[in-house]
Chains A and B, each alone.
Chain A
Amino acid sequence: MAELQDLLGLVNYWVFIVLMMVGFYVVIAQGNLIKKVVGLNIFQVSVFVFYISMGKVDGGSAPILDEAVKIYSNPLPHVLILTAIVVGVATTALALALVVRINRAYGTIEEDAIQAIEHDEEDLA
C-alpha cells in the first residue's frame, strides 16, 4: 500500500519522464523538421514540469507572505522556469525561422529529401 502511494505520489515525475522520452523520441525519429521542433518543445516542457513539481512542498501554500500561512512552497524553481520558458520560446522561434529558410532554399522540409539533395551536391563538388 505504501509502495502504491509512493508510486502515485510521484505522478508528476512519471509525467516528466514520459513526456521527456516522448519528446526525445520525436526529435530523433521524425524526419519532418517542424515535427522535430514540436518534439523538442515537448522535451523542454517536460523539464518545466520537473522543476515546477520539485518546488512543491507538502501542505505548502503559494509563496505569498500571509500571517495565516505557515508553510510555503519553494518559489525559486518556478522563477527559474520562467527564464527557461523564455529561452525555450527563443529557441523555437529561431528553429522555425530556420525551417522557413530551409523550405525556401530546398523546397522541402523532409530530412530525407534534404539529405538526398545535399548528397547529390557533394558528388558534384
Chain B
Amino acid sequence: MIEALSHNMTASDPWLILLVVVPLLSAPLCILLRSGIAAWSVATAVSWVVFAIALYLLNTVMESGTMIYRIGGWDAPWGIEYRLDAVGAFVIVIVAAIGAVVMPYARQSVAAEIPAERHYLFYAMMMLNLSGLLGIAVTGDAFNLFVFLEISSLSTYVLISLGSDRRALTAAYRYLIMGTLGATFYIIGVGLMYQMTGTLNISDLATIMPAVAETRTILAAMAFLTVGISLKIALFPLHTWLPNAYTFAPSVVTIFIAATATKVAVYILLRIVFTVFGQVDIFAHFPIQPVLMVMAIAAMFLASLSAIWQENVKRMMAYSSVAQIGYMVLGVALATETGLTGSIVHLFNHAIMKGAAFMAIGAIIFATGAVTIKDLEGIGRRMPLTMAAFVVAGLSLIGVPLTVGFISKWQLVSASLELNMWPLAALIVLSSLLAIVYVWRIFEVAYLRQPHITEHNPKIVPLSMLIPTWILALAGIYFGANATFTLDVAHAAARQLMGGL
C-alpha cells in the first residue's frame, strides 16, 4: 500500500503539462490560421479538450491524491515540478469550465463587438490567457508561477484594450501599470524568500521556511507578496483598476476575466499563506490576519455601496465583484477549515453567478446596445429569457437560499460563529442587504417600468449565447440546491491547506 502510494507520488502524469501546453500551442495556431471562424473553431475545441483534461485531473486528485509532473525528467527541487492538489484541481476546473462555456458564446458576441480582421488575434489572446491561468494553478514552482501570471496578465491587457469604447484603452493601460507593479512585488517577495532558503520549489520552500521564518528578510518577503497578490486580486483598496477594466472590455472578456482571473489570484494567496508558510505559525509572526480581515470587510461594504450608485450595469457588477472578493479574502483571513471551505467554494460559486450575470448583460448589449440602468426599462418583458437568467444570478449575489451564493455565505457565517465572532457574522448578513439594494435597482427597472415604445424591437439573441447563459444560471441553482459535490471538494482542499500540504 505504502509502496503503491509512493509510486503514485513519483509518477509523472503528462496530462498535467498538456493542460497548459494545449491552449498555449493553440494560440500561435490561431494566428497562423488568419481566419476568425477557423480560430474560433480551434479555440472552442481546445477549451473543451482542456475542460475534459481538468475534469480527469480533478477526479484523479480526489481519488488518489496529489499529482506530480517533472519537467524534462528533472527531480524537484532542481527541476521545475508541476504539482496538483485538491485546491489546484478545483481552480483549474473552474477556469476550464468557464472557458468551455464562454467560447461558444464568444462567436456572436465577438462578431458584434470587435472588427472582423481582429477576430483571430482575439481568440489567440483568449487561448494565451487560458493557458496562463491554468499554469498558475498547476505549477509547483514560485518563479514559474510568476511567468504564467504575466502570460495571463499581458493577454488580459490586450483583450481589455479591444473594447469598442476608447476608454477601454485607458482602462487597459491603468490595469497594465497596476498589474505589473503587483507582479513585480510578487517577484521581489519570491527573490527575498530565495535569498533565505535557496529554493523556488513551493513544497521545498514550505519545508525550509520554519528555520528562517523569523528573519526580517522573510517578513519583508511576506509584505511584498501580500501587497503584490492583493493588487492582482483587486482587494480593496487596491481594486481601482478593476471597475473600468470590466466596464469597457468586450463582453466576452468581461465574462471570462470576472469569472476566472481574480479567482486564480486568490488561489495564489492561498498557496503562499497556507502552503509556503504552511508549517510556520504565520499569523503569529505577521499581522496578516487583521490586515486581510479589515480590507475584506471594507470591500464588502464600500464596494457594495459604490455598486448601488452606478448607472452603468457592467460597472455595477464590477463593484459587486470587488465586494464578493471581500468574502473570499474574509474566509482566508478566518483561517479555519470552515472559513477556507467557504472561501474556496465561493471561488466556484462566484465564477458561476458572475459569469451568468455578465453573460446576460452581454446578451442585452448584443440585442439592444443598452448598458445603463435607464436603457434597461422594461427589458424584462422584451427579453424575458435573458433577463430571467440575470435574475437567477442576481439572487445568487444576494445569497438567497437555493442559489450558490447562499452556500458560500452560509459557510462563512458558520465559520465566524465557530470562532465566536458574532459581529462578523452580522456584518456578512448586513452586507448582503446592500446587494439586495443594487440588484433590486435592476429588477425594478427591468420588470416594473414600461418599455420605450418608440424603439425598434431588440435583435433576437442567438441560441449560441442564450444556452451558455442558461447553463451557468442553472448551474447556479443546481449547485445551490445540491452543494455536496462542490462542498466536498472545497472541504478536501481546505483540509489539505490547513494540514500544510
Contact = CB atoms under 8 A, between A and B. Distances in A.
Contacts, number: 73
B188 A91 contact: no
A95 B176 contact: yes
Contact of A102 (B146, B147, B169, B191): B169
Interface in B139-161: 143, 146-147, 150, 154, 157-158, 161
A98 B150 contact: no
A70 B388 CA distance: 73
Contact of B184 (A44, A90, A98, A106): A44
A47 B372 contact: no
B191 A98 contact: no
Residue picked from B170, B194, B200, most chain A C-beta under 10 Å: B170
Contact of A33 (B146, B167, B173): B173
B177 interface: yes
B244 to A, nearest CB: 9
A27 B200 CA distance: 29
Interface in B110-156: 143, 146-147, 150, 154
Given A77-B194, A91-B150, A94-B157, A105 B176 contact: no
A47 B147 CA distance: 15
A99 B158 CA distance: 12
B167 A121 contact: yes
B169 A98 contact: yes
Given A87-B147, A87-B150, A98 B172 contact: yes
Interface residues of B, number: 28
A105 B166 contact: yes
A21 interface: no
Contacts of A106: 166, 170
B450 interface: no
B176 A47 contact: no
A125 interface: yes
Contact of B173 (A24, A51, A102): A102
Contacts of B200: 76, 80
A50 B475 CA distance: 48
Contact of A125 (B147, B173, B372): B372
For the side of the interface on A, what is the size category? 20 to 34
Interface in A109-125: 114, 118, 121, 125
Contacts of A24: 181
Contacts of B372: 125
A79 B166 CA distance: 39
A81 to B, nearest CB: 10
A118 B177 contact: no
Interface string A65-105: 00000000000110010011001001100110011011001
Contacts of B188: 20, 47, 50
A20 B195 CA distance: 18
Contact of B176 (A43, A77, A94): A94
Given A24-B181, A102-B166, A118-B170, 19 more contacts: A27-B177, A27-B181, A40-B180, A43-B184, A44-B180, A47-B188, A51-B191, A54-B191, A80-B200, A84-B146, A94-B157, A95-B173, A95-B177, A98-B157, A98-B169, A98-B172, A101-B169, A114-B170, A125-B311
Interface of B: 143, 146-147, 150, 154, 157-158, 161, 166-167, 169-170, 172-173, 176-177, 180-181, 184, 187-188, 191, 194-195, 200, 311-312, 372
